[in-house]
């Protein structure tokens, strides 16, 4: 087993491999993580995924652009291809997993944030139904019913497109009062998400999975009380 210091070094190198778009390094350090007994789930979340979160932050600060983000994602997947089978073999994934419908609301074609969120959910072992961008309002409802998903995540990057969010929330609730709805995107705040009738708000891709897990736990606790 790797020492605590060595584990930190491995996680740091996995993180750097992603932020520096080094696919070969991601593979190399993923192999080292497995050989030296680092928990593959920890290597994925605190190494690779953490690097991708930083890449997303650099994108928001305009230090990185779409090509750089795509190269970071390539490096993440290169390492993940090695670590994922080990995670599955160990049975150690996110403590709470579910399925989520994701999409960017109608009239909005900005999907970088949504794609980062999708990546984080995939890494955490969730089933993701990705509707893409510019999604008609009823499509969210149709997909929720078709996939029997417990969580729906809706994003918007423009103030004009976010105005249709309350209507989506309303339609989703009419069909399934138990569904947990999470909103995200630059113009939103926790207060706006609450005003729109959503259950949760994700400020960044890095917090989206934690927020969805919190919502699922709430749902299960409510059902247990009945």
CATH of the domain at 190: 3.40.50.280
Per-residue pLDDT, 190: 95
Number of domains into which the chain is organized: 2
- 3-class state of residue 212 by DSSP: helix
Residues 162 and 77 in one domain: no
Indicate whether 121 and 78 sit together in one domain: no
Do residues 129 and 197 share a domain? yes
Identify the domain boundary among 46, 73, 90.
90
Q: Are residues 152 and 211 in the same domain?
A: yes
CB 17 within 8 A of CB 29: yes
CB atoms within 10 A of CB 204: 15
pLDDT of 45: 85
Find out whether 54 and 72 touch, Cβ atoms under 8 Å. no
Same domain? For 126 and 207 the reply is: yes
Residue 206 token pair:
């890095």
Looking up residue 57, the CATH number of its domain turns out to be 1.10.1240.10
Angle at CA of residue 38, ends 35 and 44, nearest 5°: 110
> Going residue by residue through the chain (226 aa), what tens digit of pLDDT does each one get?
889 999 999 999 999 999 999 999 999 999 999 999 999 988 998 999 889 889 988 988 899 988 998 899 999 999 999 998 888 787 665 566 789 999 999 999 988 889 888 988 888 889 999 999 999 999 999 999 999 999 999 999 889 999 999 999 999 999 999 999 999 988 999 999 999 999 999 988 778 888 888 898 888 888 788 6
Confirm whether pTM is higher than 0.85: no
Q: Give pLDDT, residue 2.
A: 82
Residues 81 and 110 both lie in one domain: no
The span from the CA of 224 to the CA of 107, in Å, is 39
Residues 78 and 104 in one domain: no
- Domain end call among 70, 90, 110: 90
Domain with 82, as residue range(s), is 4-90
């Amino acid at each position: 087993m790797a020492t605590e210091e060595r584990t930190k070094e491995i996680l740091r190198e996995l993180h750097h491999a992603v932020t520096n778009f080094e696919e070969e390094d991601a593979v190399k350090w993923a192999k080292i993580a497995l050989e030296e007994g680092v928990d593959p789930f920890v290597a994925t979340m605190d190494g690779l995924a953490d690097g991708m979160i930083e890449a997303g932050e650099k994108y928001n600060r305009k230090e990185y652009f779409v090509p750089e983000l795509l190269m970071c994602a390539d490096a993440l997947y290169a390492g993940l291809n090695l670590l994922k089978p080990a995670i599955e073999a160990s049975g150690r994934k996110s403590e709470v997993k579910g399925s989520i419908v994701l999409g960017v609301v109608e009239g909005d074609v900005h999907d970088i944030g949504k794609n980062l969120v999708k990546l984080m959910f995939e890494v955490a072992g969730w089933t993701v139904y990705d509707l893409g961008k510019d999604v008609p309002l009823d499509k969210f409802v149709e997909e929720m019913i078709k996939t029997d998903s417990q969580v729906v995540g809706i994003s918007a990057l423009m103030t004009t497109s976010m105005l249709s969010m309350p209507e989506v929330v309303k339609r989703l609730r009419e069909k399934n009062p138990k569904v947990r709805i999470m909103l995200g995107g630059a113009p939103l705040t926790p207060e706006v998400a609450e005003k729109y009738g959503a259950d949760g708000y994700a400020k960044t891709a890095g917090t989206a999975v934690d927020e969805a897990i919190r919502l699922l736990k709430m749902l299960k606790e409510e059902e247990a009380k009945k």
